[in-house]
């Protein structure tokens, strides 16, 4: 367990799941530690924190992960309606618990038990739209 980072595992699995979402076709999906040059439209998956759930023992590999997914669209070539349609696809994809669980099973590094949507915040820059979603993912590292 000590050689695996739950944060990297969660980011990779969520990014893989979102990349398969048809409503996000054309959106580049990056993880928090991705060194690639980011190209719009894009979504960045970042596991901000991973804590042992309060009602479970420490050291057993259980984590309550706080995941932020921010989607960016270029305001010069995307309407706000199109950006919000991408946001709806992202939110819907994150509600597909069975699909997300299947990605975790396929990776073999961790098990996903639950996803809780927390917040959705929208902002507009002069040249881009950005919407940040936060989710709680209850996971356990594989032995």
Q: Is residue 58 part of a domain?
A: yes
Q: What is the pLDDT of residue 127?
A: 86
On whether residue 115 sits in a domain, the answer given is yes
Average pLDDT estimate for 123-136: 90
Selection from 141, 138, 135 nearest residue 18 by Cα: 135
> 110-124 and 62-74 as β-strands: parallel, antiparallel, unpaired?
unpaired
In a domain, 53, yes or no: yes
Tell me the C-alpha to C-alpha distance, in Å, between residue 55 and each of 51, 52, 60, 137: 11, 8, 12, 15
The tally of CA atoms less than 13 A away on the side-chain side of residue 77 is 5
118 part of a folded domain: yes
pLDDT at 82: 95
Bridge-based pairing state of the strands 62-74 and 28-31: unpaired
HSE value, Cβ hemisphere, 13 Å, CA-based, for 80: 5
**Considering Cα of 79, then 122, then 69, then 129, what sign does the dihedral take?**
positive
Within a domain: 1: no
pLDDT of residue 3 exceeding 60: no
Return d(Cα 39, Cα 18) in angstroms, integer.
16
Residue 59 lies in a domain: yes
CATH number at residue 135: 3.30.70.1700
Strand order in the sheet with 110-124: 28-31, 42-51, 62-74, 128-141, 110-124
Interval 18-74: pLDDT, tens: 999 999 999 999 998 887 788 899 999 999 999 999 887 787 889 999 999 999 999
Whole-number mean pLDDT of the chain?
92
Number of domains in the chain: 1
Q: What confidence score (pLDDT) does residue 2 get?
A: 46
- Give the domain extent around 124: 6-141
DSSP string over 59-87? TSSEEEEEEEEEEEEETTT--HHHHHHHH
């Amino acid at each position: 367990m000590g050689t695996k980072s739950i944060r990297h595992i969660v980011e990779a699995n969520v990014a893989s799941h979102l990349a398969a979402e048809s409503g996000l076709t054309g959106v580049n999906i990056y993880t928090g530690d991705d060194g690639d040059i980011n190209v719009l439209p894009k979504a960045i998956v970042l596991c901000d924190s991973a804590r042992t759930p309060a009602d479970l023992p420490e050291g057993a590999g259980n984590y309550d992960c706080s995941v932020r997914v921010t989607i960016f669209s270029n305001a010069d070539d995307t309407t706000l309606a199109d950006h919000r349609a991408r946001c709806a696809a992202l939110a819907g994809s994150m509600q597909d618990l069975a699909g997300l669980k299947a990605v975790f099973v396929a990776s073999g590094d961790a098990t996903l038990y639950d996803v809780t949507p927390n917040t959705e915040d929208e902002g507009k820059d002069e040249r881009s739209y950005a919407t940040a979603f936060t989710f709680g993912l209850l996971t356990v590292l594989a032995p």
